[in-house]
Amino acid sequence: MTFELTVLGSSSALPTSTKYPAAHVLNVHERFFLIDCGEGTQIQLRKAKIRFSRIHHIFISHMHGDHVFGLLGLFSTFDLLGRKVPLHVYGPPELCNLIDFYRQYFGAGSLYTIEIHPLHKRTDQKIYEDKIVEIHAFPLKHRITTFGFLFREKNRPLNIKKDKITEFNLNFEQIITAKTGNDIRMGNGRLIPNALVTELQNKSRSFAYCSDTAFYEKNIDILKDVDLLYHEATFMDTDKKLAKQTGHSTARQAATMAKLSNAKQLLIGHFSNRYKDPLSILAEASDIFADTLMAEELKKYPVELKRDSARR
């Protein structure tokens, strides 16, 4: 089952001739969640061959332009493509004003509704759930109200081995019993061990998105054991004063968060354009946290289960 992040934009502040501002798509079992929507997001979606009709949920971390300037163009394109199904947008309350503005000036004749889900609470909150994934929002530490997002697969029921259904002539009730992890009592009194008829399942995988934010130890518990942590690394340690002033993190701080929260893998991004050698940013983080990757646009990053996948 797919669980992977596609980076659409890796730059902070400005688009350049080679880089786009923040935008990412998380594919969870073919559900596509757009996380932040900087300028040019729809162009990058096309390059990544992600169909617009697959996007039903957009998560906006905060109301800085490099995270939202792509929204209005995307809304408009949805209209031009004849979208009819609702679009759900999650983000800070100020997002309502931006969407009202769109509706007032550009939304006449729109065939689809934009459902806004303003995030208010200053603590961890579940904001979305379906049968395969649940999504939480939690506060980050930036110059304005900003939220991070945690995506967690739900534990899936055990798989029944098809040949065992035939071999033991299992009925519907017995299959449900096995899927919930129990042994099966046969009509003749024989007990069939669960492990004999079911297959090992992976535990749930998780992905967390933290951008924009200063180093914020309060989130260590929320991020605990996350399989893939995306953390901004706008600056390098030589500019840590600037990072503090602007509510951003250095590569060293991003790696420290990964280490303290026992993340399994770190992906850094949201790079300042002042650094001409991106590999030096990666090296700074890797010194602290070895399993660090650097965001490259249009590249896919699978969320992998790195913990032991022992049976529950």
Q: Which amino acid is at 200?
A: L
By CB under 5 A, residue 270 contacts Zn ion: no
Q: Which residue lies nearer to Zn ion by CB, 87 or 243?
A: 243
Decide whether 20 or 78 has the Cβ nearer to Zn ion.
20
Among 58-66, 151-159, 175-183, 265-273, which window interacts with Zn ion (CB under 5 A)?
58-66
Active-site residue among 66, 130, 237, 291? 66
- Minimum CB separation from Zn ion for residue 238, in Å? 21
Active site residue 100: no
- CA 183 to chain CA centroid, Å, is 36
Instruction: Give the pair of three-digit tokens for residue 266.
Output: 């770190």
Give the binding-site size for Zn ion (rule: CB under 5 A): 2
C-beta of residue 146 within 8 angstroms of C-beta of residue 157: no
Residue 142 vs 164, nearer CB to Zn ion: 142
Point out which span in 2-10, 105-113, 211-219, 221-229 binds Zn ion (CB under 5 A). Answer: 211-219
Kindly give the residue spans of alpha helices, DSSP state H, lying in the chain: 41-47, 65-68, 71-80, 95-106, 162-168, 172-179, 194-197, 220-223, 240-246, 251-260, 278-288
Closer to Zn ion at the Cβ: 57 or 64? 64
Long-range CB pairs of 179-187, under 8 A, 24+ apart, other chains included: 181/312
DSSP letter (8 states) at residue 115: E
Rounded to a whole number of angstroms, the minimum distance from the CB of residue 144 to Zn ion is: 7
In the range 59-78, which residues lie near Zn ion by CB under 5 A? Answer: 64
Of 164 and 270, nearer to Zn ion (C-beta) is 270
Q: Least distance (Å) from Zn ion to the CB of residue 257? A: 17
Q: Which residues contact 303 (CB under 8 A, 6 or more apart)?
A: 3, 4, 5, 205, 206, 207, 227, 228
- Residue 309's closest CA among 160, 180, 204, 228? 204
* Distance in angstroms (rounded) separating the CA atoms of residues 188 and 63: 65
In the shown chain, the binding pattern of residues 167 to 206 toward Zn ion, with x for contact by CB under 5 A and - for none, equals ----------------------------------------
What the block records as the tokens of 305 is: 């289960």
- Distance between alpha carbon 303 and the CA centroid of its chain, in Å? 10
Tokens for 4?
């992977």
CB of 32 to Zn ion, least distance (A): 24
Q: How far is CA 237 from CA 90, 98, 234, 241, 250, in A?
A: 32, 35, 10, 9, 6
Among 36, 39, 153, 212, binds Zn ion (CB under 5 A): 212
Give the nearer residue to Zn ion in terms of CB position, either 113 or 145: 145
Tell me the closest approach of the beta carbon of residue 61 to Zn ion, in angstroms. 8
Window of 28-36, 48-56, 207-215, 272-280 that interacts with Zn ion by CB under 5 A: 207-215
Query: Least distance (Å) from Zn ion to the CB of residue 64?
Result: 3
From the list 128-136, 212-220, 221-229, 258-266, the region that binds Zn ion by CB under 5 A is 212-220
Site of interaction with Zn ion (CB under 5 A):
64, 212
Q: Which residues are catalytic?
A: 66
